[in-house]
Amino acid sequence: MRIGYFTNTYPRAVDTFIQREVIGLRDRDFEVFTYSVRKTDDTHDVSNLVKAEKASTFYILPVKLFELVYLNLKFLILTPKRYFKAVRMAVKTSRAGFSGTLFQLFYFQESVILAKQLLKDKIQHLHNHLGDNSGNVTLLASMLTEIDYSITFHGPHVFFDPEGWALGDKVKHSKFSVCISHYCKSQLMLFSDPCDWGRLNIVHCGVDPEIHAEFDAKSMSNRLIYIGRLAVEKGLPILFESIKMLREKGHVVSLMLVGDGPDRKYLEELGATLGIGDQLEFKGYASQDEIVQYLGESDIFVLPSYAEGVPVSIMEAMACGIPVVATFVGGVVELVENEKNGLLVSPSDIEGLGNAIEKYLYDSNLRQGIIQKAREKIVAEYNINVEVDKLASLFRRNTHS
């Protein structure tokens, strides 16, 4: 069975969950072809796997103008009904205003190029991750080719502007849609027609419990770790303020930040301004092996986000036996149960976050109890092998031979 996997930018260092799915499906005898709008830069080349995926992925950009004109004419002449159906959908799902129309024109042209490649590769089903602008391209390419599609929705970004991202239309015209959590499903139910709710299926992202094995117990050395994008929605200034608060109380902790993003320079400057710069270590993007190593060197995982889906980084920490502090946002509460397998605090709560970290520093019994329950949760509900089986079943049931 030939499946196409399509995202806006692939393979990113932070999207290990997509890479795990692709590998898992290939292990289950699917032929998985990967497509992307644009190629990642060299900072994402953190492993041989990423490099191999990059080498085998088809990229839409850069566009060759004469080829684009030819492809539009070809689709228009050979399949005029499909072409105009896709044009009408492009118009219907465009954002208001000149810029919205202009961007949708770009997405339509990207869909023409993708459609050509899907037909060339004899793809039987197209799957998209995230449902953002690449979801627009997926929808339009499906109409140009009559190849069924599905989308894995994550959030939180697309839920900030559900009409602008045309979530209802993307669900309606999909063969099926995947939600990574009940929270994600509830948001899609808000923004789609009730008659389409049967298309919504929950399949978790996951980790391999064998790769992310629990570390042996160790004494505390006050080392915190954050893994994720350095971006505004992650709430890192709150964590920095909490670290300053702990320092003023006599608790000097270090924080390793694994990942990169648009806010890195701002965060480096903020750390210096708050007087905690010497407690921060910015590692940049890391491979899976490096992430496991960094977790093994750490005592507490902290994710102070304002908005989230269900973070894979938390799953990795829980699987490795690193106690977690996170916030009551999005699908996090389906993964972390407060004071059972982790600690949860309100987003933006500097004092609450600092107090939660302090709890772990003082209470070894709390840490050990949480570590055991956290590992059990991951093995039972967020095992990548089980979740890929669910996804494979959806593909087989919904794809024509």
CA angle 81, 133, 157 (to 5 degrees): 140
The H helix count followed by the E strand count for the chain is 17, 13
Instruction: Return mean pLDDT, the chain.
Output: 95
pLDDT tens digits, 339-394: 999 999 999 999 999 999 999 998 999 999 999 999 999 999 999 999 999 999 99
pLDDT of the residue at 59: 97
pLDDT of the residue at 218: 67
| Distance between CA atoms of residues 51 and 300, nearest Å | 31
Domain at 223-381, CATH class = alpha beta
pLDDT tens digits, 38-65: 999 999 998 898 999 999 999 999 999 9
| Distance between CA atoms of residues 313 and 285, nearest Å | 13
CA of residue 140 relative to chain centroid, distance: 22
Tokens of 294: 């960094």
pLDDT at 401 over 70: no
pLDDT at 152 over 70: yes
Where would I find the H helices in 263-383?
264-274, 288-296, 312-320, 332-335, 350-362, 364-381
> What share of the chain has pLDDT > 90, as a percent?
90
pLDDT at 214 over 90: no
Where exactly are the structural domains of the chain?
A: 2-206+384-398, 223-381
Contact assessment for residue 330 and residue 294, using Cβ atoms and an 8 Å cutoff: no
Report in angstroms the alpha-carbon separations of 289 from 47, 212, 363, 379: 9, 9, 30, 20
pLDDT of the residue at 58: 97
| Distance between CA atoms of residues 157 and 94, nearest Å | 17
* pLDDT-derived band at 253, boundaries 50, 70, 90: very high
pLDDT tens digits, 270-301: 999 999 999 999 999 999 899 999 999 999 99
Contact assessment for residue 342 and residue 360, using Cβ atoms and an 8 Å cutoff: no
* pLDDT-derived band at 217, boundaries 50, 70, 90: low
Judge if 2-206+384-398 and 223-381 fold alike in CATH terms.
Answer: yes
* pLDDT-derived band at 238, boundaries 50, 70, 90: very high
Contact assessment for residue 33 and residue 393, using Cβ atoms and an 8 Å cutoff: no
* CATH homologous superfamily of 2-206+384-398: Glycogen Phosphorylase B; (3.40.50.2000)
Cis peptide before 62 (omega within 30 of 0): yes
| Distance between CA atoms of residues 196 and 191, nearest Å | 10
| Distance between CA atoms of residues 154 and 2, nearest Å | 24
pLDDT of the residue at 255: 98
* pLDDT-derived band at 16, boundaries 50, 70, 90: confident
Contact assessment for residue 183 and residue 172, using Cβ atoms and an 8 Å cutoff: no
Cβ-proximal residues to 73 (8 Å cutoff; 6+ apart), any chain: none
pLDDT tens digits, 302-337: 999 999 999 999 999 999 999 999 999 999 999 999
* pLDDT-derived band at 76, boundaries 50, 70, 90: very high
